[in-house]
Every structure is written in structure tokens, then in C-alpha cells.
């Protein structure tokens, strides 16, 4: 990714998915030493930092067909994945809901639209009162913001304990911030992940970690504040927002009857509740899947955030493979209520726009997208 300062006549309409530029103030201030570990603490050598490119990209010998496999990256060495459960859940839920809307006729179309419109995301910045989400796409090029929070709402005390929380964790922070830039004329989406610990200037709040922009949650205008923060970093206005929470991710996996995944080494992360004592294949239920995609402290990971991104891309492929299998397609009517209540959108995001986004996310899950992560 090229880091440059846009010229004074730059505009949203001229933004290209091949070279999204960032305003210079993103990197101008000093980043606190605690924001990122020093290079020597990130691991070195094949034992401390195994090369994820050595892991097979597919099912491999001894793996169940359709099972996810750990550790894919692209030829340049970037992680071949999106990030966090927002991308995973949004992809799978959109595929599910839109399959129902497409196959069930006009009545199903209206039902899905109404179900997703019950709790719209507020679009005004709570500090300024200005609309920060919405507006027409420029020459069919749209910017989607995918958000997932660390809210424990909807989780039982036992589930909170499994996820490393001694009790109910108050407040909400954006555990996932992903910008998806879709330009049909170029035939390739850009999926840009913002690490939650990225140190930025948050409008109305000052310097802090970017996940703090979600303060107040969806109801408190947090999504609009994140949208403004991302706009000031990238120069791109956010046209639409999708939001999911922990309970939504867990509910989807449980509704599918579990998802089969294969790992090439034991994995432990007590903070995330992950316990995989040996290499091999597992069928994850919702809580196990959530622990797997949340894990950031797994021994052997070179750079934790990027290692997690690579794992999550493989998990996404496994979820979509199961979701689109004949046995699950027959269960679409019963699956929809289990997951539709755990995804929220802005008022302007209708079924046609969701169809376009779903196509791009499904293409991205197959590797046909430009995945980037802000360092």
C-alpha cells in the first residue's frame, strides 16, 4: 500500500481501489511504545515464527473435504485473509439471508428487508450532529464499513468467563473495523483492516486507539464516529455500515451445527478461551469458533494480529462451504431467524446493495480481492 498525502484537488470520486491514499496525519504523531511490540519480541526463526506459507492452502491429506486449513498468505507475504468476525459473519449471514430472499419470492424479500430494518444504525455523529453514513456511491464505487464490537450483551456469565472475562464487561469498543471498497468497473474489491490498537486522532475525543471511537456503542452513535474517523484517515466517505456482535457470531456457528476446522499445531490462548491440545481436525461449536477467531496470544504467532487474520480467512471459507452445502440450503428457513437478529445495518442499505456486497464478499472469500492491513 502506498502511503501519501492526497493533493488538494483529490476527491472521493477519484479514489482508486488499487491505491487508496491516506492523509499524512495518520502517521505524523509519535505512536506510543506500548501500541506495538518491539521487533525482537515478535519472534524470530522457524520455531518462534513459523512461516504460514508452509501450511497447505486446502483440505490436504487426512483432512475432511471442505474443512478449513490454517495459515494461507498471498504471494507477496501479506495475510490472505480479512480480519475478525465481522467479515466472517457478515459474509455468511448475507449469503444466508439473500439466498432466502432470492429463492423465496417477493414475500421472502420483504420479510428479510423488514427483519434487517428493525434496529437501524444511527447515522449522525453524536458530537457534531452531522450525517456521517450514507450518500450516493460515486460512479457505482461504494465504501462499506464492517464493524464488530467486544460487547458481551447476549452472552451468559459462563460464556463471558470462557472468553476471558471475569464478569460482564461494561461498554463497547470496536473490536473489528474493516473498510470494503467496491468498484465494479475495476472488478476487484479492496478489503482494508484497521488494527484495533491503531493510534489515531478520534474526532471530538483526541488521540487514542481507534477502537475507542465506538464509545457508546451503536445506540450512542459509535458507528457514525468510527465512520468519521475512517473518513478523516482515508478521505473516503462511508456509504453503508454493517455491525455484528459476539452473540451473533456464536449463534451462526451453532445454527449450522458446528464448523469443521483443521490446525497444524496445538493452540492455547487462555485470554480468548481457546484450548486445542493437539494438531488435527476439530468440529467447533459457537463458543469454540469464537475463541479461535479471537485468539491473539497463541505461541508461535509471529505478529499476533496478522496471524489471526490468516486463520480467520480459512475459517470463513469453511463457514461458507458448509452454509452453501445441500444439507444447509434445505434448512435456510430455520437458519435465518437464528442469525438475522444479530446483524444491524444503516437505513439506506437495502437488498440490492446487500446483494452487491454479498457478491464481493463471496469473491473475496475465494481470494479474489486485494486484502490490506494498516500497519
Strand partners, 19: none
Assigned domain for 27 exists: no
CB 225 within 8 A of CB 130: no
Assigned domain for 24 exists: no
Assigned domain for 279 exists: yes
Assigned domain for 296 exists: yes
Domain total of the chain: 1
Beta pairing, strands 142-149 & 174-182: antiparallel
Assigned domain for 253 exists: yes
The confidence score (pLDDT) of residue 311 equals 75
d(CA 335, CA 96): 8
Beta pairing, strands 206-209 & 199-202: antiparallel
Assigned domain for 221 exists: yes
CATH number for 261: 3.40.630.190
The confidence score (pLDDT) of residue 340 equals 65
d(CA 35, CA 305): 12
Q: Measuring CA to CA, which residue among 82, 25, 106, 68 is closest to residue 309? A: 82
pLDDT averaged per 10 residues, the chain (length 375) = 35 41 37 31 35 37 33 34 51 64 61 73 90 89 84 54 49 73 82 86 92 86 94 94 77 85 91 92 91 85 76 72 71 65 82 73 65 77
Assigned domain for 192 exists: yes
The confidence score (pLDDT) of residue 278 equals 96
DSSP string, 238-292: B-EEEEE-HHHHHHHHHHTT-EEEEESS-EEETTTTEEE-SSEEEEE-HHHHHHH
pTM: 0.64
The residue segments making up the domain with residue 136 are 52-373
Assigned domain for 32 exists: no
The confidence score (pLDDT) of residue 308 equals 75
The confidence score (pLDDT) of residue 147 equals 87
The confidence score (pLDDT) of residue 276 equals 95
The confidence score (pLDDT) of residue 133 equals 95
Amino acid at each position: 500500500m502506498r502511503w501519501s498525502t492526497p493533493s488538494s484537488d483529490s476527491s472521493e470520486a477519484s479514489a482508486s481501489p488499487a491505491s487508496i491514499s491516506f492523509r499524512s496525519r495518520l502517521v505524523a504523531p509519535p505512536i506510543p511504545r506500548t501500541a506495538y511490540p518491539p521487533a525482537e519480541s515478535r519472534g524470530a526463526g522457524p520455531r518462534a515464527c513459523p512461516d504460514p506459507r508452509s501450511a497447505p492452502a486446502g483440505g490436504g491429506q487426512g483432512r475432511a473435504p471442505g474443512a478449513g486449513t490454517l495459515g494461507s498468505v498471498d504471494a507477496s507475504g501479506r495475510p490472505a485473509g480479512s480480519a475478525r468476525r465481522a467479515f466472517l459473519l457478515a459474509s455468511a449471514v448475507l449469503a444466508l439471508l439473500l439466498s432466502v430472499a432470492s429463492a423465496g419470492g417477493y414475500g421472502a424479500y420483504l420479510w428479510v428487508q423488514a427483519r434487517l430494518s428493525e434496529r437501524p444504525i444511527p447515522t449522525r455523529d453524536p458530537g457534531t450532529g452531522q450525517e456521517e453514513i450514507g450518500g450516493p456511491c460515486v460512479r457505482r464505487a461504494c465504501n462499506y464499513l464492517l464493524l464488530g464490537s467486544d460487547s458481551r450483551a447476549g452472552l451468559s456469565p459462563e460464556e463471558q468467563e470462557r472468553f476471558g472475562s471475569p464478569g460482564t464487561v461494561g461498554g463497547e469498543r470496536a473490536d473489528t473495523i474493516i473498510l470494503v471498497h467496491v468498484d465494479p468497473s475495476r472488478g476487484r474489491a479492496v478489503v482494508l483492516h484497521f488494527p484495533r490498537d491503531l493510534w489515531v486522532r478520534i474526532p471530538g475525543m483526541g488521540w487514542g486507539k481507534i477502537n475507542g471511537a465506538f464509545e457508546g456503542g451503536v445506540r450512542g452513535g459509535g458507528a457514525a464516529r468510527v465512520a468519521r474517523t475512517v473518513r478523516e484517515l482515508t478521505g473516503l466517505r462511508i456509504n453503508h455500515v454493517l455491525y455484528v456482535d459476539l452473540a451473533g457470531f456464536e449463534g451462526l456457528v451453532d445454527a449450522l451445527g458446528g464448523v469443521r476446522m483443521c490446525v497444524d499445531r496445538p493452540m492455547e490462548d487462555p485470554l480468548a478461551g481457546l484450548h486445542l491440545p493437539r494438531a488435527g481436525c476439530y468440529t467447533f461449536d459457537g463458543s469454540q469458533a469464537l475463541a479461535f477467531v479471537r485468539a491473539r496470544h497463541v505461541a508461535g504467532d509471529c505478529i499476533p494480529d496478522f496471524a489471526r487474520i490468516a486463520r480467520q480467512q480459512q475459517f470463513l471459507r469453511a463457514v461458507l462451504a458448509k452454509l452453501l452445502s445441500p444439507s444447509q440450503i434445505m434448512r435456510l428457513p430455520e437458519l435465518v431467524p437464528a442469525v438475522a437478529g444479530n446483524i444491524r445495518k444503516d437505513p439506506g442499505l437495502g437488498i440490492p446493495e446487500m446483494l452487491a456486497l454479498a457478491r464481493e464478499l463471496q469473491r473475496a472469500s475465494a481470494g479474489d480481492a486485494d486484502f490490506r492491513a494498516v500497519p
